[in-house]
Structure 1
Amino acid sequence: MAEKKSQEEIEKLMVQFREWINSQPHLPKDLEDRLLMRFLHSCYYDLEKAKSAAELFFSIRAASPDLLKDRDPSSPQMQKALKIVNLAQLRVAGKRNLWIWQLNDPGLENFDYLQDARLFFLTTDAWLLNEEVLEEEDIVIMDVKDVTLKILAKFNLSIARTLSKYQQDAIPIRLKQVHVINAPSFIDKIFGLVKPFLKQGMTDMIHFHSPKSETLYKYLNKEDLPEDYGGSNGKMEDHMKEVMEVIMSKREFLTENLWKAEKKSKNKASKEAKETSFRSLDID
């Protein structure tokens, strides 16, 4: 991890970062300071790593139109996806962000892998547009209580590969832990689908917790967790309402594909994609 920077050093890095962005004809311009700052912060103020992260962030979005279109939160398709999940985006003790995804779809009757991926981009984009506080760590909880082997038939290899690359190397957060709770006995079969796309550093972050176990409390205090998980930090359904308020307040921006790179010539894009894919964040 890079050493801490003074405010003056950070301001200089911001100027250099924006100059670089503006010098790249394929990258979007007039980006908000808060987004650029997130890239610097997520990369511990290493300017070269921030450039690589931003390049990949914008390029993946440009290359994945199916994941960033038809995502008006008021549309019937997105409403259907929103009705089977509860989401939480919380700031908790220790300067940490807690992201929770809870599936509520017994039998996976309404689950659609593509729509869920669109929902991921929709909700994280809304958060990036809205949130200003820079926390030290990000922790993800995935509640898979309703996941069955039926998900294998709904799985999409191409989408999984894109999501994995975006989540590991592009989205400007400091991901430190991923907890899969209420994990069924066959979770290894499901995890086996995405594991080939994960770096070792990422797989080391992932912890599985079986139903009714209390192992999650080794990592998070009950005061930080919603009541649904034995904590005292509100209810998931109320946190979902807060997430929806943020989404609807940013609806005008979210109905379009925000923050995407312009298309390049095929050879140049291929070369740069290869170079960018090797970015690795310092975890500690």
Structure 2
Amino acid sequence: MTSTKVLCNYHWNNDEILKKIPDDEEDLTVSEIAQKVARKELREDKMAREQCLHNLKSWLRKNDDVGNVRLDDRFLLRFLRVKKFSIPMAQQTILKYLNLRKTFPHMAANLDYLDPKVNSLISNGYLVPSPIRDKHGRRVIIAFSSKLNPKVYTSHDMARAHFITYETLLEDPENQILGFTHVGDFSGLTAAHITIWNPTEFARIIKWGEQSVPVRHKGIHLVNLPSSVKWILDFVKTRVSSKIKDRFFIYSNLKELHKQVDPACLPAEMGGKIPLKDMIESWKRELAAKRDLLLALDDMKLFSDRGIISSRDRNNNGNNDKGTNVYAAQLESIAGSFRKLEFD
């Protein structure tokens, strides 16, 4: 039975959308470098793929808490790969992913790059993946804070641009395996860029994002970060895992950045060879090819979150009050910092 037939049986029944989901095994073939990484880092082989996909599809079909979830291999493999083919962990990530989309629909649903605000952000070059992969075979996602005018755009516009980027790139099995390199140029970052966020929502989306979006973040390279707002990075590090925390790198200038990130992957404006406007046009072509798939993601439903095991549930050992108090103190701290920025 092909993936398309499985999807039809599971009510993913928009024929035009189904035509855009390749179900040919040949379309899921990855490069030699990705195959090596998959075997070494993810414990992936043909038997693991077949068995885990079978079990995951069976679980989804029988799970009354979810509905109309995509059952094609391309979609489900992103969850298995990010959790190194652990079925229970992949199941939890799927549920958390659906819960994220349900809880933050203003950020994670209706992912249409043609939405005027989002399209404007993309056209400005706020967030653009380079068409050139780095030496590890990874796509390099580049962000320019100066391209986001905080008087024009909201935190929701900003978040949707990021979700659209991840969802589009994750349709490529190569990216599921190799992950992403992130580069952020924070020239021109001001207090206004930060205060467009609600502090509580900011804290939640950071933590939930890492736990719920099946992305392998392999390196986060930040350049030209103003010293006046470095505290925000310190807060972000308190909300992510130690693994991600160790993958942050800060540089004071482009020359330092180029020692770690090949300039060939960067736009001409950052010392590369490809003009940013050409990267943007290339990226828009990718977005257009995946637009219908992203819009159809809204058909997936989470009816109940009872199957989600939270960290609080796992650590239910009498210390919950302490953990809750620490979290509340962190939120109060960042809220205070936000208020201070508003008056400075």
> Is residue 208 of structure 1 aligned with residue 247 of structure 2?
no
1:99 pairs, out of 119, 141, 154, with 141
Aligned match for 1:223, one of 260, 264, 271: 264
Indicate if the aligned counterparts of 2:121 and 2:127 stay in contact, CA closer than 8 A: no
Q: 2:78 aligns with which of 38, 42, 48?
A: 38
Normalized against structure 1, the TM-score is what?
0.81
Question: CA offset at residue 15 of structure 1?
Answer: 1.0
In 2, the alpha carbon distance for the partners of 1:250 and 1:224 equals 23
Aligned partner of 2:94 in structure 1 is 54
Range with bigger deviation, 36-45 or 251-260: 251-260
Answer yes or no: is 1:125 the counterpart of 2:141.
Answer: no
2:49 aligned counterpart, secondary structure = helix
- What's the CA shift for 1:193? 4.7
TM-score by length of 2: 0.69
Residue 29 of structure 1: which of 59, 63, 69 is its match?
A: 69
Give, as a single letter, the amino acid of the residue that structure 2 aligns with 1:41.
Answer: R
| Cross-structure match for 1:235 | 275
Structure 2 equivalent of residue 182 of structure 1: 224
**AA at the equivalent of 2:164:** L
Q: Is the 8 A contact 1:139 1:176 kept in 2?
A: yes
Higher relative contact order (CA 8 A, sep 6+): 1
Shift of 1:192: 4.2
Larger mean Cα displacement after TM superposition, 53-62 or 4-13: 4-13
CA-atom RMSD in angstroms:
2.8
Contact kept, 8 Å, 1:87 with 1:99, in 2: the verdict is: yes
Cα distance change on mapping 1:213 and 1:247 into 2, 3 Å: closer
| Superposition deviation, residue 247 in structure 1 | 1.9
Instruction: Kindly indicate whether the alpha-carbon contact (under 8 Å) linking 2:82 and 2:215 is maintained by their aligned counterparts in 1.
Output: yes
2:49 to 5, 10, 14: 10
* Per-residue Cα deviation, 1:184-209 (whole angstroms, up to 9, x for no partner): 12231332453442233222211122
Q: Which amino acid aligns with 2:183?
A: I
Q: Gaps (5+ residues) in structure 2?
A: 1-39, 315-344
Q: Deviations over 1:190-248 (max 9, x none)?
A: 324534422332222111222x342223322233333332234x233222212222222
Structure 2 SS opposite 1:183: coil
CA distance in 1, matches of 2:103, 2:187: 32
Distance in structure 1 (CA, Å) of the matches to 2:151 and 2:69 = 42
SS of alignment partner, residue 250 of structure 2: strand
Alpha-carbon distance in structure 2 between the residues aligned to 1:119 and 1:135: 22
Q: Quick one: percent identity of the two aligned structures?
A: 18
The one-letter code matched in structure 1 to 2:262 is N
- Does the 8 Å contact 1:102/1:144 carry over to 2? yes
Query: Cα distance, 1:21 vs. partner?
Result: 2.1
Corresponding residue number in structure 2 for 1:281: none
Q: Offset of 1:3 from its aligned partner?
A: 6.4
Q: Is the 8 A contact 2:92 2:309 kept in 1?
A: no
In structure 1, how many angstroms separate the alpha carbons of the residues matched to 2:128 and 2:58?
A: 36
State which of 190, 194, 200 in structure 1 corresponds to 2:236: 194
Of residues 169, 193, 198, the one that matches 1:151 is 193
Question: Would the aligned equivalents of 2:69 and 2:300 in 1 still touch at CA under 8 Å?
Answer: no
Instruction: State how many pairs are aligned.
Output: 271
For 1:20, the aligned partner's letter is W
Matched, 1:274 2:310: yes
3-state SS in 2 of match to 1:12: helix
Residues 65 and 303 in structure 2, CA contact (< 8 A), matched pair in contact too = yes
* 2:112 is the alignment partner of 1:72: yes
Larger Rg: 2
Secondary structure of the residue aligned to 1:18 is: helix
Shift of 1:275: 5.0
After TM superposition, give the deviation of residue 63 of structure 1 in Å: 1.5
Q: Is the 8 A contact 2:130 2:265 kept in 1?
A: no
Q: CA deviation at 1:64?
A: 1.3
CA distance in 2, matches of 1:277, 1:221: 43
Q: Offset of 1:255 from its aligned partner?
A: 4.0
Q: Give the helix-richer structure, 1 or 2.
A: 2
Equivalent-residue separation in structure 1 for 2:166 and 2:179 (angstroms): 16
CA contact (8 A) 1:117 1:163 kept: no
